[in-house]
Structure 1
């Protein structure tokens, strides 16, 4: 292959973009009927353009597999699959968006961006893409129609992968024409309302999808900028293809603002393209990532980078899921990045997110983090359907737990303990804490694997005795080791007894109550 010829052809890529732009703007595809052909002379007359220039425009287009020139006739063209696609407005919108003035002029600043790492739109005549769109209604409409087309393709899959059952209200930040929010409301009739929060000319809901005749009554709009304006307060927030338009510091600022509004049982759903980190291959997505840096100054992020950004915003990702889709775009969903990853079971119970029928008897659930809680709740719902009304399960939750976590009286560390040295406890993530007392949970087993042999001997522990492996005072404390306590199920009144055990040990370990002496234990004076 001749390097000169190859490089010569590669250097003309900008011309292909403008050829596609002209074909889309003139809507040439709809001037040739399906199954028919037409000469460039007829087309030039219909389109009121120069005949010779149009002929070579179409000849170049055939090299892009758009239109086909008949072998037996000079300058007569018929359709190809790609030219047929261009009869559809949504495909033309995508081309006109990518070939728009702000896109093309942003590529002029490539060298400047390469040197500084920042988008250099100011030297091109506009402060940012958003300023440009706000001042150019037609370009803004093309942009939003393109985003709506992408959402129409991805929306159903996105909504299917997202669980909104635990929420009553939702805000779509940067929701454009509102198609995704409409889909969320349609699939979730329990939602009270949804707010499309977007800048002027985007959040007016003025599209074929959202009109006065078919708009959901729960659909609301609010004009605003997520960076500079107050964000509405709802249970859940959606950001689809928004955060990739900004650098990390702006993304952190936006997420912090949302985090301040986020309720303890709220969640944020972020849907973005992600960096596939491909090597040594031509990639349309890699090209788009560079285009994004030039146009908006933003960036596509890997899973690792998303976790770092979200953590800096004081939030924690509960789940990242890569979403297969018909568009074959690398889309990921960052599910429910709430404050410190905590979802309050207490709030869920008080707001009746856990069905009222569960308020009777039987099951105890320790407050859990994020998606685990949803899984357990779903299993309980399935269980409830199989039981008679006399055996309906009941959720028992510490009323103070969530409040203590939010007040940082309880610190949640989601990593196992790896080492204990005196009062210093080391966790698997490298952190260490000074701990006065440790509570181990071994559910309904008799084993005590976390205690060394010396301590087990001091406890006179007998693992073979399934009735009473350890002799304890009031089934709670050991007569000779006062700094160890046990909470266990040893009578039919399970929960009241456990509550008494926990209260007793908490008072003793916090030094609000003096521990019993050996003499008091011997005399059973409690």
Structure 2
């Protein structure tokens, strides 16, 4: 009797049910990624590959479970296991270190924080009702929770800065600013984008418009020219400082149409003659191709009241707020610049 051939791949993998099963369990990968980031594993691999037993002792983890977690991450190029069972950094894992330029660890901790994680688990409620489950789970709306919980707010703002730092210089170069413009960064967080814009436009003056507890951690002093920027506190739903150019990065996607129009209208009422607005957000494309904006869109659905928008949807917002959309400028990042000028 002849020997049966040895199968070279798992049986029935062409069956779409197996692909669906993999998709259904996909949440375990970000869970593993968060665990490795929270434990600080990457910080202990900077000098080279290490046995799991040593890593586990240093980070305070169970050796077997740490091994199982790193083994899964290694299947996607985050950490690498050698033939002796030691783990080493990869280019992606390197960015989980806290002591390297461009560290992305805080961004990972933000994106996998329970404020997003728990609400994503209740996405069905958002789909059924058209409202976010956040307030039911946390007892208050998203930004109210952040304003009252200093630890969570720090996770969010530091994580957003880490996520934004690689893209801000690229986006700043794509901004077409008039000479000596007064640039108002609306809800600009710690000021990372405004800092990049001011570095690229030495004749411009910047205004960072934010809430007081956010401005306490601003970074504009890094510019080394304190006369070129001003801090302004206030509520972008009720007012905006005067200026030539309004930067609104990753703000409108947090809010429903009514409140987006309110933000844009306040800028329209405060803008100087010949001014403009530059909304920096994902612009959703039509079709079935993968689009990172469609992923973030569900994050907005589960935790907030906003959404990612198409060009036509931005145009409708601009029209209601007294702006005319002039163009959508690619930036080379996952975000585009949606430019508007005052409607006549």
TM over 0.5: yes
- Paired positions, count: 328
Aligned to 2:10: none
Return the match for 1:84 from 94, 112, 116: 94
Aligned to 1:277: 286
Where structure 1 has 5 or more consecutive residues not aligned to the other structure, the ranges are 343-526
1:321 aligns with 2:321: no
Q: Quick check: 2:161–2:190 contact (8 Å CA) kept in 1?
A: yes
Aligned to 2:8: none
Aligned to 1:242: 251
Return the match for 2:337 from 330, 333, 339: 333
**How far apart, CA to CA, are the structure 1 residues paired with 2:166 and 2:88?**
29
**How far apart, CA to CA, are the structure 2 residues paired with 1:163 and 1:251?**
23
**How far apart, CA to CA, are the structure 2 residues paired with 1:170 and 1:128?**
30
Bigger helix share = 2
Where structure 2 has 5 or more consecutive residues not aligned to the other structure, the ranges are 1-12
1:28 aligns with 2:41: yes
DSSP-derived class of the 2:77 partner = coil
User: Could you state the TM-score of these two structures normalised by the residue count of structure 1?
Assistant: 0.58
Bigger strand share = 2
Aligned to 2:76: 64
Q: Quick check: 1:185–1:194 contact (8 Å CA) kept in 2?
A: yes
Q: Quick check: 2:184–2:241 contact (8 Å CA) kept in 1?
A: yes
Distance 1:260 1:32, change over 3 A: same
Q: Quick check: 1:178–1:205 contact (8 Å CA) kept in 2?
A: no
User: Could you state the TM-score of these two structures normalised by the residue count of structure 2?
Assistant: 0.86
Return the match for 1:55 from 67, 75, 93: 67
More RCO (CA 8 Å, sep 6+): 2
Aligned to 2:301: 293
Return the match for 1:304 from 294, 300, 312: 312
**How far apart, CA to CA, are the structure 1 residues paired with 2:299 and 2:38?**
22
* TM superposition shift of 1:267: 1.7
Q: Quick check: 2:95–2:103 contact (8 Å CA) kept in 1?
A: no
* TM superposition shift of 1:59: 2.1
Distance 1:204 1:53, change over 3 A: same
**1:453-487: CA deviation from partner (whole Å, max 9, x where unpaired):** xxxxxxxxxxxxxxxxxxxxxxxxxxxxxxxxxxx
Counting only pairs closer than 5 Å after superposition, residues 459-478 of structure 1 correspond to structure 2 as none
**How far apart, CA to CA, are the structure 1 residues paired with 2:108 and 2:214?**
20
**How far apart, CA to CA, are the structure 2 residues paired with 1:33 and 1:273?**
35
